[in-house]
Structure 1
Amino acid sequence: MDDPSFQSIPANPFITPVPTDFLWGVATAAYQVEGHTSGNDWARFETIPGMIKGGARSGAAADHWNRVSEDVGLIKALGANAHRFSIEWSRLEPAPGHWDQRAWDHYADEIAQLRAVGIEPMLTLLHFTLPGWLAERGGLVAEEFPQRLESFAAEAGRRLGADVRFWCTLNEPNVQMFYGYVNGLWPPGLRDKALAVRAFAGLLRGHALAARALRAACPGAQIGAAMHLVVAEPLRRWWPLDRLATRLLETGFNWAFYDSIQRGALQLRLPGFPVLDEAMAELAGSADFVGVNFYRRHLVRFAPEAPTMVELRSGPGPLSDAGVEIHPQGLLTILRRVWNRYQLPVMITENGVADAAGRLRGPYLRSHAYAMAWAMAEGIPVKGYFHWSLLDNFEWTDGYTLRFGLYGVDFATQERRWGPGAEEFRRLAALLAAQRP
């Protein structure tokens, strides 16, 4: 097949029939929408002056903790048949080995409400936030971290697994490592390359042990990790060092985690970082799918003065409110590369745009659905798409300055507002439903 043109996207972007069990859903993360959480490392990090834009605190966020039934109704109104969300570890294990029954009941009820209206849940165990007690003991670099995550996974599988088929052990471990331990912009706010490698190793070990625990508790569970994958291209294609920097970025950021799973060994090699190379048999076969979070393309310049020896720039395309280039053909590129590299089914676990005015989201959805459908027409087994996000939310260090929601949220009143992106999502959902027998 010739590569598609993204200059003119058809009104029906689904150029090939999708499987009857295809997941067309929305995504959220507990800390970003639930609110009323103070027991994790992020809540403490927010108190450091200058860390969050505008000095914002997560506070009530979108108050999803108290509005589950309302928000399940909003998901149903979109025509979605799936919802990816995380369970907040600090609520469920507020002290080491102490499980909060009311919190578990809350999530069990949320899952039951989703299933009652035909919405498939996908659960994420660790979406960036760690219990405060674990952070105090070293967090990702603590010797106990992998076993603690394993214990959490086992408990989640035992309590919730009868009604959950799809699991993400981790969300964007590559981002959590780089932001927490290389540029220091996220908890624990460190710039230490040796600790960065230890954190990466901890996340890999934690994933492997958590996957093992879920398989024991939930036979038939489908397990993966959601990776932030970027299209990387040399800023100056003619300059060998820009091409080298691009390969380093792809190898260390995009591929190191799943390469380690594929090889059954913890492996990371980045210039200036300690080398990680350690066998771990439990990693092999620990993923049933690759979770792809796709948002952006980077143009890469070799920059020896930078911590990772690369400088990243946006491409020339239209920009979102976050200054991120909108580049739907990049999703097709990433899906091809993931499939060629791992030969595993793919879930698009996040894809979305910061767009407060709501003008970009509809075309964004349609163009990225087109890229996904093209990949499927080439035989790439894409099993689902989850749009980020259901609701406007607390966007980590950007606070409340960026709006990603299909539903806008007035954070003063918590009113949810239907936007043009929601209308397009529902239209695409109807097109998908019409393909099914």
Structure 2
Amino acid sequence: MSVQPAEAATEVAFPPGFVWGAATAAFQIEGSTTVDGRSPSVWDTFCRQPGAVVNGDTGEPAADHYRRYGEDVELMRDLGLGAYRFSTAWPRIRPDAGEPDSRGLDFYDRLVDRLLAAGIAPWATLYHWDLPQTLEDDGGWANRDTAYRFAEYAETIVSRLGDRVVSWTTLNEPWCAAILGYAQGIHAPGRTDPKAAVAAVHHLLLGHGLAMDVIRRHAPGSKAGLTLNLFPVVPADPGSAADLEAVRRIDGLQNRLFLDPVLRGAYPEDLVEDLAPFGLADHVRAGDLGVISAPLDLLGVNYYRGYQVTGTPREGTEPGGPAWIGAETVAFVTDDGLPRTESGWQVQPDGLTDILLRVHREYPAIPLYITENGAAYPDHEHGDGQVDDHDRVAFLDSHLRAAHAAILGGVDLRGYFYWSLLDNFEWAEGYAKRFGIVHVDYETQRRTPKQSARWYSQVINHNGLG
């Protein structure tokens, strides 16, 4: 089912100074996975596991950004981007989590300088899932020591770029790294160990807090925070006790398990009880939550869809939820008639308004940025160099209007980054799904701005929607 643009759409103006950008991640676009001393990451290893990634795809060559970054920055300039959110690659900067490698550091030096010369603000993310494989061999994020090794890596890159990068995020979507990677096994490192996943949650958050201290020391005056993927979770039947319990469980592990320790300084009591058999309390040491809840300058919100859940699985639902909290009692509604992206994700722009309002109302005041929002659709290429993606334009239009509705509701929302600038390696989906506003021909590496890129450029130019 296609997404349709809003009928009789009204003009929408965003606040002065609103940040307009696009986002990428190192492993998804850089390629050059064995170049200039870069060591293997958990994703390099995961890609070699049979059946782990669609078509057996790997992070090579991805979008060849390591060699083509200059061309890509010119694309950003042409589109009028005010900011570019990228991640730095731990295995490139400190190969095998060892000593710094000047070649990797030099690459990010060149990238940042090129962005600044183009008038584009660099937004750096320290961790977008590419853990050095050597650390995974020692237990990965289930090992507390990894948090301290992360702080070492953070110090290396922040001390190098902190004089020019003034916006930092420590982690991207720690939920994915911990739950998908260590419990469900569908992301790297591909483990299915609930106890390891619970340990990974805490150690990722500890690493975030330690990295915040690094940023404060080496990039004074910069803005710093982290990015969480948040989902509104609603019951299929608001009058059903079973459905409300399903909401509690899913919302707890998806949202509150990360929001609460970071913004309130404590894990939710109900989740501490739920996760007691899996050792959450065993990993929390004196002082940890103080480190984790260090004051933030910003919170990045990644939004793609919401969840409608039930505690009484039936036709039109599919099982879901982390296994250790009773997946047999939780299911996701699948037959609600909403349009879907090529990924099968329901298109729910109102959910973006809802989740932004929730953070605004339930947590301490903090500036918010939408650091990812986007959709995969089958793009239609024409021989004249045009790439039509009407569905993506409609998706963008509806979600930007939803973001504006949150601002009208009092949310301190200060920016929007589309995911993604370029078609790229989309994790377990490999190259089968295209999220970019710029089409990448993976055979030739030719870049072609899509219809959505031209549309977004107009939004940026007008700071609003017509």
TM-score, with length taken from structure 1: 0.93
Q: Post-superposition shift, 1:137?
A: 1.2
1:55-74 equivalence runs, <5 A: 55-74=56-75
Cα distance in 2 for residues equivalent to 1:11 and 1:77? 27
Root-mean-square deviation over aligned CA pairs = 2.0
Q: Which residue matches 1:191?
A: 192
**Does 1:284 pair with 2:293?**
yes
- Helix, strand or coil at the partner of 2:123: strand
Please tell me the residue identity of whatever aligns with 1:27.
Answer: A
Cα distance in 2 for residues equivalent to 1:386 and 1:227? 14
Please tell me the residue identity of whatever aligns with 1:215.
Answer: R
1:340-355 equivalence runs, <5 A: 340-342=361-363, 343-355=365-377
Q: Which residue matches 1:3?
A: none
Q: Which residue matches 2:448?
A: 417
- Equivalent residue for 1:330, pick from 345, 351, 365: 351
Change (3 A) 1:286 1:207: farther
Structure 2: gaps of 5 or more residues = 35-39, 314-318, 380-388
Cα distance in 2 for residues equivalent to 1:430 and 1:132? 43
- Equivalent residue for 1:32, pick from 14, 19, 28: 28
**Does 1:295 pair with 2:304?**
yes
1:300-311 equivalence runs, <5 A: 300-302=309-311, 307=323, 308=325, 309=327, 310-311=330-331
- Helix, strand or coil at the partner of 1:368: helix
- Would the aligned equivalents of 1:35 and 1:62 in 2 still touch at CA under 8 Å? yes
**Does 1:41 pair with 2:42?**
yes
- Helix, strand or coil at the partner of 2:461: helix
Cα distance in 1 for residues equivalent to 2:355 and 2:235? 16
Cα distance in 1 for residues equivalent to 2:460 and 2:88? 26
Cα distance in 2 for residues equivalent to 1:199 and 1:227? 15
Change (3 A) 1:185 1:303: farther
- Helix, strand or coil at the partner of 2:32: coil
Q: Which residue matches 1:318?
A: 339
Q: Post-superposition shift, 1:286?
A: 3.7
What count of residue pairs does the alignment treat as equivalent?
A: 427
Q: Deviations over 1:296-347 (max 9, x none)?
A: 0111122698614322234431110001111111110011011112221101
Q: Deviations over 1:139-178 (max 9, x none)?
A: 1012311111111111111100111111110010012111
Please tell me the residue identity of whatever aligns with 1:346.
Answer: L
- Would the aligned equivalents of 1:183 and 1:191 in 2 still touch at CA under 8 Å? yes
Please tell me the residue identity of whatever aligns with 2:21.
Answer: G
- Equivalent residue for 1:397, pick from 428, 447, 462: 428
1:99-114 equivalence runs, <5 A: 99-114=100-115
Please tell me the residue identity of whatever aligns with 1:226.
Answer: T
- Helix, strand or coil at the partner of 1:135: helix
Q: Which residue matches 2:248?
A: 247
Change (3 A) 1:275 1:95: closer
Please tell me the residue identity of whatever aligns with 1:236.
Answer: D
1:17-416 equivalence runs, <5 A: 17-20=14-17, 22-38=18-34, 39-265=40-266, 268-269=271-272, 271=274, 273-274=277-278, 276-277=280-281, 278=284, 279=286, 280=288, 281-302=290-311, 307=323, 308=325, 309=327, 310-314=330-334, 315-342=336-363, 343-357=365-379, 358-416=389-447
Please tell me the residue identity of whatever aligns with 2:222.
Answer: A
TM-score, with length taken from structure 2: 0.87
Please tell me the residue identity of whatever aligns with 1:37.
Answer: T
